[in-house]
Structure 1
């Protein structure tokens, strides 16, 4: 937060609180209450929504920051963090809420549909001006960005462009987190690095300039948000498979123990055991073993003698959630110098072998158990097919020359009923972002390539504005308008 030194602490807190208010009241955040965590159609009212995942991540992040300050104590002043606890907590909480707002419907299946479809139809973008000449390396790099998807980059675009919310630089920088770096070829032939899409590169440049962040460096709050994401996601995935009846608590505990021991062996510690006391919680002097924590949670659940699976996970969160929060805070303090330098590859929960093996065990077990349910695979395939059908409906618009495409947007009438319906159903915010982009001067690539890129971004934004239910409804409308299966 050094880059905001021009602000007083009180002014910074007021601006961050303003960011929080805008984000909480945004339509993009409300959309998360209609998206399931597992990326499948909402078949049951009890399924967890992405909004609940964001709230769980928010709370985990808050606890990590509080724990960091407890551990630092009077040393917080020496680290440049004195008096910034409330601001740091606000940064992490709002960053946690923003993390998922750019996700497309149907979760990972939706991301795969977007990336795969654009990869297959790249030559159709922009009408007669494409495909690109073989020597147009920069233009090809720009358009190839449409074949990749990053939820945090899309979140920054959604909140700043479509919602029109001008985040404080320090708050926006929290979204420049642990993600693939986009690489382009610049005018000098060298690669350009960035953590957001090319369309928002000016925002990223401004953030980094104000905050003093290097080109591939991260903001300290992003490390906490990443750790909170891992903890919340890991526990919620396990709880989901138990709630769906794919595994019972007793079998879950036994499988976790086995997966953990196997993970330690892969980490080069085959001699380690379940009973080794390598985990600790803040305020508890003695250390815990994983076997002890899991057995404690299971015994407490069985002693309560109630058929309520949520009770088991209440105890599991008490044991494992607090332990992982404590280890994340320990890692933050231990690696504070690297964090201040913005080291891009640092992960708080991977710094210690035991935590790394534990999280890998959780993820591998959850993945194995999730696909025991044939319904999940069917729903993912249905989601993939739905989004590909929607993208097929947009294909005629992507093939138009720029002048014809602009006329389509202005008149709202296409050459076919399907194209007319498609353009009329585009959200106003998505259209506004495209028009604003085309009114700005372009650089690097040719005008035709730059327009084709923003047209592709328009389609990305359109898909990412939907929920599962609205995507299915839209697919049905467009299919009927086309009088054939999409």
Structure 2
């Protein structure tokens, strides 16, 4: 293992052979930090859904506040790893890069959700259902002589995925020009959008269970993987830490938001947590989670502290639940990373760090199960999700005339040769300028290629998906209202 090959200052455009000394690396990763924090993609997260769309209660999490919590958990995991490495030095080549790894994981955690559309996973479902329903009627795919590529591109467009959209934002929409090490840290899934999902029995099946990047970013991913020596279908090692931080953070946070919203109280939640954990853990439920407490004792202790708190009982309950449960989960993730470091380094470790047969996996499963059953499945949340689905579907329907345009007619509008018909011209003007520019940059080199009609239509579909998925919840709602209800 040679982490010097994985932790580098190489970028898409910049120095071909940047210095390798630690001070230069630190400087470049600090530059990445600035580019990420000051990007529009991060700012938009403050008005994107975590669980409750269009939420007025500022105490309930947005994608931004969730991402900040994941960032903190990621930092905690990294520090725990290096504490263990310093106590029992292992020759894995990481010790010189402590601050650099901490920065890379922190920023990966902060931006891991930047590709998510409005209204969360229901927004993803709405985009995919609309394209599944409507894309087959668009004849530009059928007219292509390259039938295989046409089928693959059509398959990809029916599988919008927030993780893949994040790479589109990084490389081609915002062109952040991050170091390859920083960009690779969020490559959670390693399957191209052109590929089919592999069977669970296949190697790397977990890493390929979702689309990780699109055809439009394939060359960027290839270049990144070549420079970082990541084999096809494999992961960058620090992405495992970003994933673990997200797994630890989001379920407990979603449950807390449900209590904040009054969907259940701390006593009800405690009973559900204990009952669900005992069902998952079975005979191991009496095993200690912390140094001196079982899961049930940890939950009951948090509840006892809450009942003694005269002002903010909910806050007190979750403070003590986190104090007791987050630390052992972080510690277990760190141990898993170190114990499996060779496979993690190679990027073929075919599961999440916390997805094992341990009691800590039972804790994660308990949080997820309780959140699904008692938060996500409530009438209020399902109503909001249905509203979000209707908004996204309606916006895509509104912009469909742009997809129905013939290639030459759409190109006339793109290159300002002709204004276009009244409806299409009005819709075209509503598209974000940055997305239109990205579309032009993508298609201009393709104009004289035999497959131009096919590829142009692919990028036109991407343009519409970019536009709608890039909206905040509030903007999507306002645009829907402007187009349908004004």
- Tell me if TM exceeds 0.5: yes
Counting matched residue pairs gives: 459
Q: 1:271 aligns to what?
A: 283
SS of the residue corresponding to residue 348 of structure 1 reads coil
Distance 1:197 1:425, change over 3 A: same
Does residue 1:237 correspond to 2:254, yes or no? Answer: yes
Q: 1:63 aligns to what?
A: 76
Q: What are the Cα deviations for residues 192-235 of structure 1, in whole angstroms up to 9, with x where unaligned?
A: x8831110011111111111111111111100100000111011
Distance 1:16 1:443, change over 3 A: farther
1:208 corresponds to which of 209, 217, 225: 225
SS of the residue corresponding to residue 72 of structure 1 reads helix
1:199 corresponds to which of 216, 240, 244: 216
Q: 1:326 aligns to what?
A: 331
Q: 2:97 aligns to what?
A: 84
1:384-423 to 2 correspondences below 5 Å:
384-411=389-416, 413-417=419-423, 419-423=424-428
Q: What are the Cα deviations for residues 151-184 of structure 1, in whole angstroms up to 9, with x where unaligned?
A: 1211111122221210101111112114655344
1:113-262 to 2 correspondences below 5 Å:
113-125=126-138, 128-131=139-142, 136-178=147-189, 182-184=193-195, 195-262=212-279
Q: What are the Cα deviations for residues 279-303 of structure 1, in whole angstroms up to 9, with x where unaligned?
A: 24xxxxx353111211221122222
Q: Is this contact kept in 2: 1:55–1:97, CA < 8 A?
A: yes
Return the offset for 1:138.
Answer: 2.3
Return the offset for 1:335.
Answer: 1.1
Q: TM-score, normalised by structure 1?
A: 0.89
The CA distance in 1 between the partners of 2:133 and 2:447, in whole Å, is 26
The CA distance in 2 between the partners of 1:110 and 1:371, in whole Å, is 15
Distance 1:134 1:379, change over 3 A: farther
Q: 1:10 aligns to what?
A: 23
Q: 2:309 aligns to what?
A: 304
Q: Is this contact kept in 1: 2:124–2:162, CA < 8 A?
A: no
Return the offset for 1:334.
Answer: 1.3
Return the offset for 1:45.
Answer: 3.6
| Larger mean Cα displacement after TM superposition, 128-137 or 167-176 | 128-137
Q: 1:73 aligns to what?
A: 86
Q: TM-score, normalised by structure 2?
A: 0.89
Q: Is this contact kept in 2: 1:28–1:159, CA < 8 A?
A: no
SS of the residue corresponding to residue 84 of structure 1 reads helix
Distance 1:400 1:473, change over 3 A: same
The CA distance in 2 between the partners of 1:240 and 1:362, in whole Å, is 13
Q: Is this contact kept in 1: 2:190–2:235, CA < 8 A?
A: no
The CA distance in 1 between the partners of 2:349 and 2:452, in whole Å, is 34
1:474-485 to 2 correspondences below 5 Å:
474-479=479-484
Return the offset for 1:271.
Answer: 2.5
Does residue 1:36 correspond to 2:53, yes or no? Answer: no
Unaligned runs of 5+ in 2: 9-18, 197-207
The CA distance in 2 between the partners of 1:182 and 1:103, in whole Å, is 16
Return the offset for 1:431.
Answer: 0.4
Unaligned runs of 5+ in 1: 186-192, 265-269, 281-285, 482-486
SS of the residue corresponding to residue 195 of structure 1 reads strand
| Larger mean Cα displacement after TM superposition, 4-13 or 249-258 | 4-13
